[in-house]
Amino acid sequence: MELEKIIPLVLYDNECYLCTKFAKAISKLSQNKILIVGHYTTIGEEIRKDILDASALDMFWFIDAKMAYGGRAAIFPLIKTIILPGAKKYSFQSIMESCDAECKTIKAVFVRSASLFTNSKKIKI
C-alpha cells in the first residue's frame, strides 16, 4: 500500500456508534483534509497489518508521514493538522454507521471515552 498517497488519515472503529460520531466530527472539522478509514474496512485492515501492532483495535489512530499516533498520543497531532492549512482534500467520504443497541448506552460511552485517555501509543513509520 502506498501510504503517502492517503495520509494524513484517522483510523477508527467503524462498528462503534460513538467512534463513528467522532470520525464524522473529525471529517467535518478538518474540512475533508484528513482521510477517515474504518478499522474493519479493506484499507483499514491493510493499514493494521502493515503498520500497526496488536493494540491497533484498542484505540483510534492518527497517521501522518512519519508516525502513527494512537489514542491519547493522537490528540495533539490531530488538532494541529485540523488547524493548520493543508492542500490535500478528499472529495467524498462515506462514514458508515453499524452499531447494535449496546454501543449507545451510557456505560458504552463512558468506557469508550475513558479508553481515549488510558490508551496511548506511537509507532514510527
pTM: 0.84
In whole angstroms, what is the distance from residue 69 CA to residue 47 CA?
13
4 SS3 class: helix
pLDDT band for 4, please (50, 70, 90 cuts).
confident
123 SS3 class: strand
In whole angstroms, what is the distance from residue 48 CA to residue 25 CA?
23
pLDDT band for 94, please (50, 70, 90 cuts).
low
In whole angstroms, what is the distance from residue 19 CA to residue 26 CA?
10
pLDDT confidence of residue 17: 83
H or E segment at 61?
strand 61-63
Burial class (CB in 10 A: 0-12, 13-18, 19+), 52: buried
